Chains A and B, each alone.
Chain A
Amino acid sequence: MLAIYKRELRSFFHGMMGYVLTAFLLAASGIYFLALNLGYGLTDFGYYTLYRTIFMLLLYFPVLAMRSLAEERRARTDQLLLTSPVSVWGIVVGKYLALCTVFALPCLADGVMIVVLWLLGGTASACGANFAALLCYFLLGCAAIAVCEFCSGLTENQIIAAVMGFSALLLAYMMPSLRSMFNAGSAVALVVFTALSAGASLAVGLRTRSFTLGCFCFAALCAGLSALFLLRSAWLTEAFSAVLSALCLFAPFEEFVNNSFSIPTLVYYLTVTVLFLFFTAQGIEKRRWN
């Protein structure tokens, strides 16, 4: 795992990629820091710089993560990795940590900016809030990297991986506004959940290679949903809106920088990370069996 981490990290700084990406993000936060925090004397770095430049991340992460697995597959170097005594988890996590390290560089520079604000006369509590916002920003980034790495594992074409990652992040970014369009009744929720359970049953069927088990799984899920629909239809709509809000990757960060430090937000980002790393490893594993 360590070998993979080191190689991945070095490959970013062998070429231009690592420098360009870091400069790209630093330029954005630098401009906002200069104009808002220094220019207007606002001490809230979390809101005025990190939150305002969050749209840059929509481009940054897909480009950062597009190579990681897709390029290995295209160049057939995945054969070296997968035939070495390293587990699939080791490969996925090693690459993931390297990507997080590259993202940590602009975050470190952001940390310096926060210290500068403090030295210029910011209060200690503002400084603490800024650092908490930076932590949340970093964890948000780690979750987004996991999503983009998953996209990279789906294809051998870097461009397609980047476009998929961008689409996924854009959807998550716009989800808070899209949600109002789906202000659905329980019938729509039922249809969506039925489709989701069909997908889950299909996955179960393929994974266990048993058609019967997949059918049973689907039947059981449908029965459960129908019962809920008839008896407690309000639960379905609530669950539906909960699912939609879980897809709003950027919304918890917005609440976080509006001065509400919350542990659940941090846990949410860590959960998304673990979930998508798991999907990535499963995706690689699945390809070997087909």
Chain B
Amino acid sequence: MIEVSHLTKKYGSRLAVDDISFTVEDGVIYGLLGPNGAGKSTIMNILTGYLAATEGQVTVAGHPLPEEADAAKACVGYLPEQPPLYPEMTVAEYLDFAAELKGVKKADRSAQVQSAARRTGLEDVLPRLIRSLSKGYRQRVGVAQALLGSPQLIILDEPTVGLDPAQVIELRRLIRELGRTHTVILSSHILSEVKAVCDKALILSQGHLAAVVDLAAEERDLEELFLELTALEETSDKKED
């Protein structure tokens, strides 16, 4: 589904992602795991075509970026860290707009909006202004937006931040359900969440890819592994200094 080779991203002189290569297989739920500032959001922004890579090749669903960006973007549904919402619109208006933006045909639009709203539990708030919604509902509107246009790949950047425990459980159930029909990538720094939802984990540390872990086959504790991998990088960096 996604092939990334030797991906590097610099913000000015600061290196955010350093020579990362990995492959994402179809129909698997991936967790992008790493401490703050490890480059999770940057990688997601590059995969969705929001940012351009400094070096390296990225291919999404067979379309190389940035050459076939429009075709690649049509295959991806994306929930950024901060849900991209227009507070002056109602939920229904917003989802309708997002569907049109993603090129959903007029005849299918209302059916798709209804089904996305049903899956994310938004049916009751469709006529309400986004301005008046709570943080949890706004997050769900962001997820619903990512489902529109029936993308093959869904990328969610910290989807459970700011939700109450019941909503977290509900959203995890939704992600697992999506995993049956879509390829999903989600980022998180909550280890238990990744363990509960994902099939595989990509562990990042300071812009490097520290490990790709198959969570079903891995016998060691994820927490131990994570601390070991991220601490290793830090000590080796200190030695270099």
Known contacts A83-B76, A83-B78, A85-B102; is-contact A289 B84 (Cβ 8 Å): no
Which A residues are in CB contact (< 8 Å) with B84? 75-80
Identify which of B45, B86, B101, B103 gathers the most chain A CB atoms within 10 Å of its CB. Answer: B101
Q: Which among A7, A81, A84, A288 has the highest number of chain B CB atoms within 10 Å?
A: A84
Contact A82 B12 (CB under 8 A): no
Tell me which residues across on chain A come within 8 A of B51, comparing CB atoms. Answer: 288
Interface pair A7/B82, CB less than 8 Å apart: no
- Check A87 for interface membership: any CB of B closer than 8 A: yes
Smallest Cβ distance from B165 to chain A, in angstroms? 26
| Most B Cβ at <10 Å: residue of A3, A75, A76 | A3
Nearest CB of chain A from residue B6's CB, rounded to whole Å: 17
Main SS at interface, chain B: loop
Chain A CB within 10 Å — which of B82, B84, B102 has the most? B84
Interface pair A85/B103, CB less than 8 Å apart: yes
The complex places the Cα of A81 from the Cα of B71 at a distance, in Å, of: 15
Q: How large is the interface on B (under 10, 10 to 19, 20 to 34, 35 or more residues)?
A: 20 to 34
- Given the interface pairs A2-B100, A4-B101, A86-B101, the reply to whether A76 lies near B74 with Cβ below 8 Å is no
Given contacts A85-B74, A289-B52, contact A80 B101 (CB under 8 A): yes
Provide the B51-62 mask, 1 if CB < 8 A to any CB of A, else 0. Answer: 110000000000
Q: Does B7 contact A (CB under 8 A)?
A: no
Name the residue of chain A whose CB is nearest to the CB of B54. A289
Contact residues of B between 75 and 116, Cβ < 8 Å to A:
76, 78, 80, 82, 84-89, 97-98, 100-103
- Is B85's CB under 8 angstroms from A85's CB? no
A residues within 8 A CB of B214? none
**A11 in contact (CB, < 8 A):** yes
Instruction: Kindly list chain A residues whose C-beta atoms are within 8 Å of the C-beta of B145.
Output: 80
Question: Is B64 at the interface (CB under 8 A from chain A)?
Answer: no
Closest to A83 in B: B48
Report the nearest A residue to B86, measured CB to CB: A77
In the complex where A3-B101, A83-B76, A85-B74 touch, is A15 in contact with B86 (Cβ < 8 A)? no
Please tell me if A180 contacts chain B, counting CB pairs below 8 Å.
Answer: no
How far apart sit A7 and B45, CA to CA, in the bound complex (Å)?
24
Q: Name B80's contact: one of A4, A79, A86, A289 (CB within 8 Å).
A: A79
B223 contacts partner chain A, Cβ-Cβ < 8 Å: no
Could you tell me if B101 and A82 are in contact, using CB atoms closer than 8 angstroms? no
State whether A87 touches B101 (Cβ < 8 A).
no
Complex CA gap A86/B145 in Å reads 16
The verdict on A79 contacting B101 (CB below 8 Å), with A11-B86, A85-B73 known, is: no
- How many Å lie between the Cα of A76 and that of B102 in the bound state? 18
- CA A82 to CA B97, docked complex, whole Å: 14
Q: Smallest distance from the beta carbon of B56 to chain A beta carbons, Å?
A: 14
Question: Which 5 residue pairs are nearest across A and B when measured between Cβ atoms?
Answer: A80-B84, A3-B100, A85-B74, A77-B84, A83-B48
8 CB-based A-B contacts, threshold 8 Å: A11-B86, A14-B89, A79-B50, A80-B101, A84-B98, A84-B101, A85-B70, A85-B71
A binding-site residues for B, Cβ under 8 Å: 2-4, 6-7, 11, 14-15, 75-87, 288-290
